[in-house]
Amino acid sequence: MPSLSSAHPLLVLAHPGHELRCHGWMEQTRPDVFVITDGSGSANSSRVHSSAAVIARTGARLLTGAGALPDRTLYAAVLSLDAGFFAGLRRQILALASDGPAGATGPGYTEVVCDGLEGFNPSHDLCHYLARSVAEELGLPCYDFPLEGQAQHWSQDRVLTLDDAALGRKLTAAENYPELAREVRAAIARFGRCAFALECFRRVQPVPGTPPPPVVPPYYETFGETRVSEGVFREVIRWEAHLQKIAAPFFAARR
């Protein structure tokens, strides 16, 4: 495993704002960042500009084409089991990872880092599957990190404890992120500031088939059922009916 100072990572995220969870690590490694969706959700308002500012201040770089995909487009492709859509998205990430850092004179990316597989949000898990499969194809180590769970409960294959200055910069970035400020304040009130000083990353190991979420059925199914009953969603995104079928081709080549 490369040291933080020698790593040149590709960071792949489902939504803008996820970079806040690994802010201290980004300051140390200055990764290239690809965000799959624009974070618009049902509000139809992109968050990419807010993330671009956060990423730039850490010294990292947001790649061209990041955040171009509306959330609604992604969810529609999931529900319709649009294999061509996801094959194209995977090819896009694979091309970025294969080409390596723009202007680099030495080796390409040393690792891929991505959203954790938590079963909380289907977009997060799809991001994990896409990035994980690309890393496996290229023979690169892959690490993921938690978005919903607390870092101390994550597998700690790589641990970064932020000092007071780094934690202050991280929380300032989070509190000044307009679209997420309310969520950030609630999280700090619940867990305290010190809970965000720990950043943990898990080394992702290849397993047979498509890795399932930690709990089946995952949270996004039960949440989706509630939203359907409320008339907000028309259909529930499910692990077996949707994500497993979409992700299976990503890992088929290694069998």
User: Does the domain at residues 9-162+199-250 carry the CATH identifier 3.40.1720?
Assistant: no
Residue 2: pLDDT over 90: no
216-251 per-position pLDDT tens digit? 999 999 999 999 999 888 899 999 999 999 999 999
Q: Is the dihedral of CA 239, 180, 61, 37 positive or negative?
A: positive
pLDDT for 149: 77
- Give the residue from 18, 10, 233, 33 showing the smallest Cα distance to 125: 18
Q: Is the dihedral of CA 210, 216, 219, 220 positive or negative?
A: positive
Contacts 24+ apart (CB under 8 A), 183-190: 184/20
13-58 per-position pLDDT tens digit? 999 999 999 999 999 999 999 999 999 987 788 999 999 999 999 9
Domain range summary for the chain, segments of one domain joined by +: 9-162+199-250
Query: How far is the C-alpha of 175 from the C-alpha of 171, rounded, in Å?
Result: 6
The pairing of strands 9-13 and 111-115 is parallel
φ, ψ for residue 220, nearest 5 deg: -65, -20
- Give the residue from 29, 26, 24 showing the smallest Cα distance to 5: 29
177-211 per-position pLDDT tens digit? 999 988 889 988 888 888 899 999 999 999 888 99
